[in-house]
Amino acid sequence: MYIPKPSKFDPDSFGHFGIFGGRYVPETLMPVLLELDTYYKTLRFDEAFWSEVNAYLKDYVGRPSPLYFAQNLSNQMGAKIYFKREDLNHTGAHKINNTIAQGLIAQKMGKKKVIAETGAGQHGVATATVAALLGLECEIFMGEKDVARQELNVFRMKLLGAKVHAVKSGSRTLKDAMNEAIRYWVTNARDTFYIIGTVAGPHPYPMMVRDFQAIIGYEAKAQILAKENRLPDFVIACIGGGSNAIGVFSHFLEDEAVQCIGIEAGGLGVDTLKHGASLLKGSPGVLHGQMSYLLQDNDGQILEAHSFSAGLDYPGIGPEHAYLKDLGVVQYDNITDQEALDAFVWLSQKEGLIPAFESAHAVAYLKKMPSEKLKNSLIIINLSGRGDKDMIQAKELLSFE
């Protein structure tokens, strides 16, 4: 049974990963966060709680997700390439691992209502799903621009009984959805549980969400050892806020032989102003309750990110990634919109797997990796989600005659 393990990269008791993380929120929310922190401490290593979580993960989500050997891609690239199939989870992505656990915590804490922000809509759908399952009221905040480009997921959320707020301020994407969710939370702090979708936000969320997603790395490690009898050389994942990446990296970070690589959204190119590469191009700052790398101007105003994939279109990143970057434990690189779109087609036609636009960034990195590293290496790519939600957008970007 999966139970999180303490990590040498755990934050301190205030939630600091080095200088990053922490709790930068209006005072009204502090008692709520401290209560959650105290409550989560009692659950973190509690067998009864985890057996409940695992029961849902097994029979409702469909875990463990398979580790699939991609024969055709491997032949073409001259490496052994495995995909961790988070795309096969119920609701189509890794997000549900987290919402199951947070939903159960909300229920145990006696909260009747849950809220969530969403970018691509995957976290919104996963939250609405769990709310339906556990009988909780659910409101989702989503940027107006994302509502337009992810209309299928918006419909799914409504079908599941959630109320969807289209956020009209700022860049009308994930950043602004999170602003609005925080405003709602401050206003309804007493009875509302905020299910944050990634390893970001104020402590204890980054640590908690990491614990919930670390089941990906826990399974992947056992699976690769069973299939190959050795650890992988590389573990690759895309990064928006960074939850699928932290999840799959978690059980490999302390293995010297394994190099974890996180892929940020390069958008139209990291030398333009239109990208989401906070680690590469950002600097430390405070947004959404935490200190981390942010895309910002000389006055500390937050800049708009850009990615054609709504899930990576965010100017910040989880604080643990900022910490792992500065420590040099994880390598970070980026992939442009065009490279990701090419990989979206490539994986579809070579392996019959249609990845989410987000996950296509990680797949695309196979073609960007230095060939001396790639050749004959053993690689796990986290296929964090499936591409169904992206069909309408893909249809506009691609034509097959």
Partner 1 sequence: MKTLVAYITAGFPDIAFTKDLALGLADAGADKIELGIPFSDPVADGPVIEVANLKALQAGFKLEQLFDIASHIAPQIDTYWMGYFNSFYHRGFESFAKKAQELGVKGFIVPDMPFEESIQYAKILDQTALSLVSFVAPTDDEARIKRILKNAKDFVYLVAYAGITGSGVSEDLQDILTQIRLQTKTPVFVGFGVDEKTAKQKAQGADGVIVGSAFVKVLLDESLNGTQKIEKITSLARTIKESINS
110 binds partner 1 (CB under 8 A): no
Under rule CB under 8 A, which residues in 33-72 are in contact with partner 1? 34
Pick the piece of the chain touching partner 1 (CB under 8 A) from 125-133, 150-158, 265-273, 280-288. Answer: 280-288
107 binds partner 1 (CB under 8 A): no
Distances (CA, A) of 102 to 84, 114, 160, 197, 242: 23, 10, 18, 10, 17
142 binds partner 1 (CB under 8 A): no
Contact 9, 206 (CB under 8 A): no
Q: Min. distance of Cβ 143 from partner 1 in angstroms? A: 13
170 binds partner 1 (CB under 8 A): yes
389 phi/psi in degrees, rounded to 5: -65, -20
Pick the piece of the chain touching partner 1 (CB under 8 A) from 30-38, 49-57, 107-115, 246-254. Answer: 30-38
- Judged by beta carbon, residue 96 or residue 182, the one nearer partner 1 is 182
Pick the piece of the chain touching partner 1 (CB under 8 A) from 64-72, 253-261, 265-273, 295-303. Answer: 295-303
3-state secondary structure (DSSP) of residue 77: helix
Residues 6+ apart with CB under 8 A from 2: 50, 54, 57, 214, 215, 218, 219
3-state secondary structure (DSSP) of residue 254: coil
The amino acid at residue 114 is V
Contacting residue, 113, 183, 350, 367, with partner 1 by CB under 8 A: 183
Contacting residue, 5, 12, 28, 272, with partner 1 by CB under 8 A: 28
Q: Min. distance of Cβ 349 from partner 1 in angstroms? A: 41
23 binds partner 1 (CB under 8 A): yes
The amino acid at residue 23 is R
Task: For the sheet with 67-69, list strands across it.
Answer: 67-69, 80-85, 378-383, 234-238, 259-267, 331-336
Per the rule left: phi > 0, alpha: psi between -120 and 50, beta: everything else, 135 is left
Widest distance between CA atoms in the chain: 59
169 included as an active-site residue: no
Q: Min. distance of Cβ 167 from partner 1 in angstroms? A: 12
Q: Which two tokens stand for residue 94?
A: 């890794």
25 binds partner 1 (CB under 8 A): yes
Neighbours of 298 (CB within 10 A): 5
Residue of 80, 111, 117, 389 marked active site: 117
95 included as an active-site residue: yes
Pick the piece of the chain touching partner 1 (CB under 8 A) from 21-29, 55-63, 255-263, 377-385. Answer: 21-29
14 binds partner 1 (CB under 8 A): yes
182 binds partner 1 (CB under 8 A): yes
- Judged by beta carbon, residue 96 or residue 174, the one nearer partner 1 is 174
117 included as an active-site residue: yes
Residues 6+ apart with CB under 8 A from 163: 138, 139, 140
24 binds partner 1 (CB under 8 A): yes
Which runs of E-coded beta strand occur in 88-247? 113-118, 137-143, 163-167, 192-194, 234-238
By the criterion CB under 8 A, which residues form the site for partner 1? 14, 22-32, 34, 169-170, 175-176, 179, 182-183, 186-190, 283, 285-289, 294, 296, 298-302
